[in-house]
Structure 1
Amino acid sequence: MSNNTTATVTLTQKNYLAEAKMRNHFAVIDEPLDFGGDDNGPTPVEYLLTAIGGCVSITLRMYAQRKGWNLGKITVNMSQKEQLTPQGIKKSLVEEISFEKEVTEEQRAKLLEIAGKCPVAKMVKEATEIESKITI
């Protein structure tokens, strides 16, 4: 199966400001002022959190529509958690999902299972291989 999803990111000459192009869409990436950036856009980690939250919410909506469940608005709050361990700082992601409409305990359990099937979250959880090369 071939998936031709691509993104091109170009770091500009202005500190850490990067310009990204995905299909016909554009975005900027930057670091906050206290990390040497100019705070012109979200950080790469914030985009990762957004990508997972967006994917989870879309995956849940698709499933709920097939089941005929009206969940109303779906909100996914994503955050990065850092914990000091004897081995150093351990980073993890926290995902909190809520629905505008009430759901039963049975629906809640199934929706939590389906949330785990979001393709973007699976890429992160399964440590997707990245092939890196420098082109001329």
Structure 2
Amino acid sequence: MKQVNGVDIEKLSETMNAIRGNPDIAKFNFRATNKWLEGGHNRTTINEFDGACSMHNRAISFVIDEDEPPVLLGQDKGANPVEYALTALAGCLTTSLVYHASARGIKIDEVESTLEGNLDIRGFLGLSEGIRNGYDGIQVTFKIKSDAPKEQLQELVDIAKKRSPVFDIVSNPTPISVRLDN
């Protein structure tokens, strides 16, 4: 088993070849269940998903608490949803960068990213129709330790942007269906 950056390169190659032979293997359906607790406090549970032509249950469910800081009338029982959006973006960009570096045989010693999102809550509160409800913009800065030249590291950052599913979700319109089921 050959590993680069903790990624099994042989399995990655086998997976990519299997997908080339059967594109249905690449289709995934992820699910999350959210329950409101009180105030701004919600709890999300993540376990099962469909992918690689079958359903999967994780060994343990992931439980994520979301809340607001006191200045936004919450009790700080978890990061708020827009902070989790930054977390999802950071994790996905980093994973994309590392997997693509690994596939190219580029050794990465360390990756750190800093994300900032600017948001005006007048949109969320309905106080101004001209103000967006979500982030006005997100800034991502990477610090990467590697023997690879800076140009190659920049190329990896560009590939991460191009291939990250979460970057795609937040930077392109994604159809979202919201319905009431009583």
TM-score with structure 1 setting the length: 0.88
- The answer (yes or no) to whether the contact 1:56–1:76 under 8 Å persists in 2 is no
Runs of 4+ in structure 1 off by over 2 angstroms are 87-90, 100-103
User: More helix per residue: 1 or 2?
Assistant: 2
Is residue 2:84 matched to residue 1:60?
A: no
Q: Structure 1: how far apart are the matches of 2:98 and 2:141?
A: 16
Tell me whether 1:94 sits opposite 2:147 in the alignment: no
- Residue 71 of structure 1 and its aligned partner are, at CA, apart by 1.4
Pick aligned residue for 1:5 from 30, 40, 64: 30
Change (3 A) 1:82 1:25: closer
Q: TM-score, normalized by length of structure 2?
A: 0.67
1:71 aligned residue: 108
Q: CA RMSD in A?
A: 1.9
> Could you list the runs of 5+ residues in structure 1 that have no partner in the other structure?
none
For residue 150 of structure 2, the aligned residue among 99, 102, 105 is: 105
Q: AA paired with 1:76? A: S
Query: Structure 2: which 5+ runs fail to align?
Result: 1-23, 48-60, 121-129
The sequence identity of aligned pairs, in percent, is 23
> Deviation per CA, 1:65-103, whole angstroms, max 9, x where unpaired?
1111111121121110359xxx65771000111112243
Larger Rg: 2
What is the number of equivalent residue pairs in this alignment?
Answer: 132
